[in-house]
Copies of this chain bind each other. A is one copy, B any other.
Amino acid sequence: MENTKTREPQQKRSIEKKNKIIEVGFRLMCENGYQKTTTADIAKAAGVSTGIIYSYFKDKHAIFIAGLEQFGSKMIIPMYDQFTFPLDVRKSLNIVIDALIDGHQVFMGAHKEIDSLIMTDEETARIMYEFEMRTTKDLEKFLKKAGFAPENLLEKTHVIYNMIESLCHELTYHKHEELNCEQMRTIVVDTILTILGEPSIPYFDQA
Q: Spell out A's residues near B (CB within 8 Å).
A: 31-33, 35-36, 109, 112-113, 115-120, 129, 132-133, 136, 152, 154-156, 158-159, 162-163, 165-167, 170, 175-176, 178-180, 183-184, 187-188, 191, 194-195
Contact = CB atoms under 8 A, between A and B. Distances in A.
Contact of A175 (B129, B154, B176, B184): B129
A41 B32 CA distance: 25
User: Copies per complex?
Assistant: 4
Contact of A112 (B32, B118, B129, B175): B118
A129 B188 contact: no
B194 A191 contact: yes
Q: Sort A-B residue pairs by CB-CB distance and give the 7 closest, nearest first.
A: A116-B116, A162-B166, A35-B35, A155-B183, A152-B183, A112-B115, A155-B184
Contacts of A163: 159, 162-163, 166
